[in-house]
Chain A
């Protein structure tokens, strides 16, 4: 009888002890469910090396700036954010981009970004794909700064 009661007490205590951890874990996941990734891409006219991941965007940028022949990812930054949060992401050299997550609706995230040398841009985008912005910022070696912002995952509402 006592053994049964002890066993039941142990199971209940174990359950009660684990429950807050699970709830906390769930809460943390809920609070930081959106991961924002920012690529700092440098385009140059000093070489013709294009990283394989950038061939698509290189072709589009070259329509505007044919002199830019070399494309590489200089820096990658990522942070977990929640709706309404504002974060700064470091880019090349001392530059940074400000990202604000506005809202999430129908598998899309509304975002406002403020890249260097460009005014604030608001857009809504699907998740898991990069949206490029060709800035006017030029590094010390005259490379052109291009940023690409991606958010994921989106939840269904």
Chain B
């Protein structure tokens, strides 16, 4: 046996043996080494000697290749990956949509709330029963009927003798009666009444008040 073997071309024989033991040779070189080991006892002893360095790891000396996955296994893996990825994407999209919804809701709700608060504040400020009222801040008593405030009712007609009896509302008679002077009024057409009576038009002057006067019928 020569120091350099033709079967392992660029390696020495011990390197070739070591390469064989370590499964580093290609299939053709391994076949040639195994063929040589059939006839060369010294080479077999060298192989055994190198493998004997770690008998407990003899399993490591054999080539281990994981089995190639089948098409079904590939499909299951692919399905698992998609199943795991799609919900996350959907959740991400949902969360993003929710974020926009929240943002839009905030954009709409905040100004609306401020506007409502401004209106409420203005109505309270302009209300005589508002913040300046002594009753402001008190809980409304549900058993007490609400009474109209004076400004909330308008008295259109009332007998003057009943004015002191008004509970709410302002009397239409505010006092202070000023009659027209002759320069304040210009009387136009005066129609006769159903019985033909035409009232007298008193124009007045600087010392008298103008008025319309309908005389009572004289009893003959």
Quick one: CB contact mask for B90-125 with A, threshold 8 Å, 1 for yes? Answer: 000000000000000011001110110011001000
Q: Which bucket holds chain A's interface residue count? A: 35 or more
Are B211 and A131 in contact, CB atoms less than 8 angstroms apart? yes
Are B185 and A125 in contact, CB atoms less than 8 angstroms apart? yes
Q: Which residues of A contact B172 (CB under 8 A)?
A: 37, 76-78
Are A132 and B209 in contact, CB atoms less than 8 angstroms apart? yes
Q: Give chain A nearest CB distance to B70 CB in angstroms.
A: 56
CB < 8 Å neighbour of A131 from B111, B180, B188, B190: B180
Q: Give chain B nearest CB distance to A24 CB in angstroms.
A: 13
Q: What is the chain B residue whose CB lies nearest that of A131? A: B180
Q: Is A29 an interface residue (CB 8 A)?
A: no
Are A17 and B216 in contact, CB atoms less than 8 angstroms apart? no
CB < 8 Å neighbour of A13 from B114, B188, B204, B213: B114
Q: Give chain B nearest CB distance to A82 CB in angstroms.
A: 16
Quick one: CB contact mask for A56-97 with B, threshold 8 Å, 1 for yes? Answer: 110011011000000011111111000000000110000000
In order of increasing CB-CB distance, the 9 nearest A-B pairs are A10-B114, A119-B191, A76-B173, A78-B172, A77-B157, A122-B188, A53-B177, A9-B111, A10-B111
CB < 8 Å neighbour of B211 from A37, A77, A134, A138: A134
Q: Give chain A nearest CB distance to B216 CB in angstroms.
A: 6
Q: Is B160 an interface residue (CB 8 A)?
A: yes
Q: What is the chain B residue whose CB lies nearest that of A3? A: B110
Which residues of B in the span 25-51 have a Cβ within 8 Å of any Cβ on A? none
Q: Is B178 an interface residue (CB 8 A)?
A: yes
Other A-B contacts than A123-B187, A126-B180, 11 sampled, CB-CB below 8 A, are: A6-B106, A39-B173, A60-B209, A73-B173, A75-B159, A76-B160, A77-B158, A78-B156, A119-B198, A121-B190, A138-B216
Q: Which bucket holds chain B's interface residue count? A: 35 or more
Q: Is A155 an interface residue (CB 8 A)?
A: no
- The contact sample of 28 A-B pairs, CB cut-off 8 A, is A6-B106, A6-B107, A9-B107, A10-B115, A14-B111, A53-B176, A56-B179, A60-B208, A73-B173, A75-B159, A78-B155, A78-B156, A89-B157, A110-B188, A117-B214, A119-B198, A120-B191, A121-B187, A121-B189, A123-B187, A124-B186, A125-B186, A129-B179, A130-B179, A131-B211, A133-B199, A136-B215, A136-B216
Q: Is A148 an interface residue (CB 8 A)?
A: yes
From known contacts A18-B119, A130-B178, infer whether A76 and B157 are also in contact, taking CB-CB under 8 Å: yes
Q: Is A12 an interface residue (CB 8 A)?
A: yes
Q: Is A118 an interface residue (CB 8 A)?
A: yes
Number of A-B contacts (CB under 8 A): 166
From known contacts A73-B160, A74-B160, infer whether A121 and B191 are also in contact, taking CB-CB under 8 Å: yes
From known contacts A89-B157, A90-B157, infer whether A13 and B179 are also in contact, taking CB-CB under 8 Å: no
Interface residues, chain A, with chain B CB atoms under 8 Å away: 5-6, 9-14, 16-18, 37, 39, 53-54, 56-57, 60-61, 63-64, 72-79, 89-90, 108, 110, 117-126, 128-136, 138, 148
Q: Give chain B nearest CB distance to A98 CB in angstroms.
A: 12
Are B177 and A134 in contact, CB atoms less than 8 angstroms apart? no
Q: Which residues of B contact A110 (CB under 8 A)?
A: 188
Q: Is B193 an interface residue (CB 8 A)?
A: yes
Quick one: CB contact mask for B152-176 with A, threshold 8 Å, 1 for yes? Answer: 0001111111000000000111011
